[in-house]
Structures are given as structure tokens and as C-alpha cells.
């Protein structure tokens, strides 16, 4: 009888998505509405939990993508950054002046610290960026560092996490008591981070979801996050590119990232005159291409960025007025900027930039190509910068596809089949069709 019930659930999943009162097991589909959050932070992405639904969560984007879930016994609501570029989920557990929200582990009866002698500490942490250690209380201690120079540290522990109606006891996470932030004002809005990469400790793997998808609107503040199978009749035309999976350890290759193979870039109809080797990782692993919801913009290694910048300038000559300030660099890596009349409604027609992956293509056009720098004006002009940056200026040895260029693209991360899918979709309409009421 139970198997028949699950079969019927799968057959009627589209109808179930519209019912806000239904519950889903952890390996069934959860639907989460998303909403945009503005902020200055370049390398984090923000999601929040809907109080009116047990199976749907609101999602916010721009700088950060955050989700609000319940943690502990009795449950405490926490807001976590959704990051496909990270593995270990963590929460702030110690109150400091700039934090608005922390997880009070001392009041939770289901909180269990992990000793450094545990197999979890000794083996499951091997893909973390820094090796774990043993603190004075012989507890498993981790230090996590990120590309924006922020870092947090604290102890690993087990706790019960509830997302929608699905509870996952003994979820492994980091209970962090200190850290270094590059933007404390923005970080104060969240309680922690939800790691969603391919690592064994990532939240998506611990919850047992075979895949997840999200769709970020470029038209308004709406969007949708879907955990589990996307059995949606109207969702068609997804093109898949295989993940690049390597088992051998390399110094500059993240083995649990969503790594895809970028094969070329077109500006308009012109392919950049670069060999495929310019996009391939070298013998050290440097040069992988990662799809990252935790990074706002897209960053390319120096030679590729220079070729794209040169061609874009050539094709927009006479259309855009460059900002003739050689020392002006937005967010440390975006040095191609323009002056646009503040009174102008909309941007001029710009050439499309197409990222060519193995088996799939992502097109960036219109307003996704230029980003207005907040608060910066030159006379009567606003300053806009090209939304591709130079990885070399950030000290990153990788290509990173940020979430700004994922707007109005259905992004599917398929862990079982080791692939990422893209499909152009009006994400505001997708949210409405999935019953989000946005």
C-alpha cells in the first residue's frame, strides 16, 4: 500500500505542488518561492522560509540567496545562505555585536558535538578546503575560508534540520563561534550558510535529494527553488552538460564543485579566437569552470577575459561610452565600465554573449550584460560595469559562473547523473505556475 501511495504521489506531483497543505518525504519534491535581496557583497548568494507553507520556501537573490529553516529541539528558525560552491553547512553559535541571529545550541536537546576521534571527523571532512583539527576539548574543529577573504571556525556537530515538512536528524554541520568577514553588515542578516555542492557533507547529499533546481527572475523579485525531481509538464528544452569529475587530488581543482567544461565564448555571431585548451584545467587543476550560486558575477581567467573584453569593446564602439578611468575597478575584478545617461530609460541594444559548454549553451543578453554601480555618478551619468570580471585580479585559479547570469535560466543540478542542465525560462512565470502566488 505504501509503494502504491508513493507511485501516485509521483504521478500527481504537478497537482501536489499547488497544494500548500501537503507534506513531502525528504526524498520527494519540495518547492520554495524565491525573492530578491539587494546588497553590496560580491561573493555570497540569499533564501527565506514561508510561514504559510510546510513545503515551500521563499528565495531571495542578488548578492546572496538565503533559506530559512528550523534547527534543533525545540526548533529555532535560522536564515542560511544557499551556496552551491560550498560543502559544509554552518551556523553562527556565538553572539557577537554585529549578528542579528544565532543558533543557541545550548538550548537544543538534539545537539551532539562530534569528537575528533569520530570517523566523520577523520574521513568525511577530506574535501574541506582546510584540514580539520582537534580542539582542547577533543572536539572536531574546522576552519572554512572563502574567495571573498571571509572565514569562520568552530566545531562539527549533529543536529536536527527541518526544511519544509521534512526533518533530518543527525545532520552534520558546523557550529561556528568566530570568523572574519569582508562585509559584516551583509553577513549580519543571516545566521549561517547551507552548503549544496557534491561533497558527502553537503546539505543536499545529507538530505538525500537526487537533484535540485532553481530559477531566478530577472523581471521582478520572484523565483523558485525546487529540491528533488522536477516532474513538471511545461518544463521543456533543458540542455545538459556533463560534470567534469576527477578522483585524483590536484592542488587547484575542487573535486566536489559543480565543474563543467567551458569550450568557447561568442560575442554576437563571432566566436572568440581562442583554442579549447584556454578553457581546460592544466596539470595542477587550475582553470576548472564552476557553477556557483554563492558568487554574484561571472569571472574568467585573464587571457579569456581579455579576449572577451576586447571583442565586446569592438562591437559596442559608438553604442556605449567607456569610463575613461584606468584605476576604476568594480568589486576588485571588473575593469570594463561605461557612462550611461541617468535620464535614459533602458540600455541600448547590446551584442549577446554566449557561453558554450559541452552539450549546452548559456546566453547572456540585455541588462544582464551591464550592472549599475550603486551610488557612483559622473556628472549626469550613471556608471555601469561589464558583468564579466577577471579571475586573475581576485587571485582565483578558475572560471566561475555566478548567479547574475543564471537569471531567467532554469538551473538543474543532477547529482545522480552527474550533470547540470540549462533552459531559458521566464522565472517569474515559473514561480506562478508552481503555485507560489508571487
Active-site residues, by number, are 83, 292
C-alpha 32/C-alpha 54 separation (Å) is 10
Provide the grid cell at 201: 557533507
- Give the side-chain half-sphere CA count within 13 A for 306: 7
C-alpha 232/C-alpha 367 separation (Å) is 29
C-alpha 421/C-alpha 25 separation (Å) is 24
Cα-based angle 407, 84, 22 (whole degrees, multiple of 5): 80
Provide the grid cell at 200: 558527502
Cα-based angle 405, 410, 413 (whole degrees, multiple of 5): 95
2 three-class SS: helix
Helix (H) or strand (E) holding 193: strand 192-195
C-alpha 203/C-alpha 340 separation (Å) is 43
| Residue 220 CA to its chain's centroid (Å) | 19
Closest CA relative to residue 66, chosen from 80, 85, 77: 80
Provide the grid cell at 266: 561568442
Which residues is 288 bridged to in the sheet?
A: 398
Closest CA relative to residue 223, chosen from 293, 148, 297: 293
DSSP code for 11: H
**Locate cell 567544461: which residue?**
261
C-alpha 247/C-alpha 205 separation (Å) is 18
Query: Residue-wise over 165-176: b if at least 16 C-beta within 10 A, else e?
Result: bbeeeebbbbbb
**Backbone phi and psi for residue 120, each to the nearest 5 degrees, phi listed first:** -60, -45
CA distances from 299 to 164, 250, 355, 403 (A): 34, 21, 12, 11
Which residues is 92 bridged to in the sheet?
A: 176
C-alpha 225/C-alpha 56 separation (Å) is 9
Question: 329 exposed, middle or buried (CB, 10 Å; 0-12, 13-18, 19+)?
Answer: middle
First CA to last CA across the chain, in angstroms? Answer: 36
Amino acid at each position: 500500500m505504501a509503494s502504491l501511495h508513493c507511485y501516485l504521489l509521483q504521478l500527481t506531483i504537478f497537482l501536489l505542488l499547488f497544494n500548500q497543505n501537503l507534506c513531502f518525504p525528504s526524498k520527494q519534491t519540495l518547492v520554495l518561492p524565491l525573492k530578491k535581496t539587494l546588497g553590496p557583497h560580491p561573493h555570497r548568494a540569499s533564501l527565506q522560509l514561508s510561514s504559510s507553507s510546510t513545503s515551500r520556501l521563499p528565495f531571495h537573490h542578488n548578492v546572496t540567496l538565503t533559506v530559512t529553516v528550523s534547527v534543533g529541539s525545540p526548533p529555532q528558525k535560522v536564515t542560511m545562505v544557499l551556496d552551491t560552491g560550498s560543502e559544509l553547512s554552518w551556523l553562527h553559535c556565538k553572539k557577537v555585536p554585529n549578528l542579528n541571529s544565532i543558533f543557541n545550541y545550548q538550548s537544543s536537546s538534539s545537539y551532539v558535538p562530534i569528537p575528533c576521534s569520530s570517523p566523520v571527523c577523520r574521513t568525511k571532512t577530506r574535501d574541506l578546503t582546510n584540514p580539520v583539527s582537534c580542539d582542547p576539548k577533543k572536539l572536531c574543529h574546522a576552519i572554512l575560508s572563502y574567495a571573498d577573504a571571509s572565514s569562520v571556525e568552530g566545531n562539527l556537530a549533529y543536529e536536527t534540520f527541518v526544511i519544509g515538512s521534512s526533518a533530518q536528524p543527525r545532520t552534520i554541520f558546523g557550529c561556528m563561534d568566530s570568523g572574519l568577514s569582508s562585509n559584516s553588515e551583509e553577513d549580519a542578516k543571516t545566521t549561517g550558510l547551507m552548503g549544496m555542492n557534491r561533497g558527502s557533507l553537503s546539505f543536499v547529499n545529507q538530505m538525500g535529494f537526487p537533484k535540485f533546481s532553481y530559477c531566478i527572475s530577472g523581471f521582478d523579485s520572484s523565483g523558485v527553488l525546487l529540491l528533488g525531481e522536477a516532474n513538471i509538464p511545461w518544463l521543456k528544452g533543458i540542455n545538459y552538460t556533463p560534470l567534469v569529475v576527477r578522483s585524483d587530488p590536484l592542488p587547484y581543482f575542487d573535486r566536489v564543485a559543480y565543474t563543467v567544461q567551458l569550450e568557447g565564448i561568442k560575442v554576437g555571431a563571432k566566436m572568440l579566437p581562442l583554442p579549447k585548451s584556454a578553457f581546460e584545467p592544466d596539470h595542477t587543476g587550475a582553470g576548472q569552470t564552476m557553477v556557483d550560486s554563492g558568487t554574484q558575477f561571472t569571472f574568467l581567467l585573464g587571457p579569456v577575459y581579455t579576449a572577451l573584453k576586447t571583442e565586446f569593446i569592438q562591437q559596442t564602439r559608438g553604442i556605449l561610452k567607456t569610463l575613461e578611468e584606468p584605476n576604476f575597478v568594480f568589486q576588485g575584478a571588473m575593469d570594463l565600465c561605461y557612462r550611461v545617461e541617468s535620464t535614459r530609460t533602458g540600455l541600448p541594444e547590446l551584442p549577446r554573449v554566449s557561453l558554450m559548454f559541452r552539450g549546452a549553451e548559456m546566453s547572456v543578453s540585455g541588462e544582464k550584460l551591464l550592472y549599475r554601480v550603486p551610488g557612483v555618478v559622473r556628472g549626469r551619468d550613471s556608471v555601469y560595469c561589464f558583468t564579466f570580471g577577471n579571475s586573475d585580479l581576485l587571485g582565483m585559479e578558475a572560471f566561475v559562473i555566478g548567479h547574475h547570469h543564471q537569471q531567467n535560466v532554469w538551473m538543474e543540478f543532477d547529482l545522480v547523473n552527474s550533470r547540470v542542465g540549462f533552459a531559458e525560462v521566464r522565472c517569474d512565470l515559473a514561480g506562478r505556475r508552481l503555485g507560489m502566488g508571487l
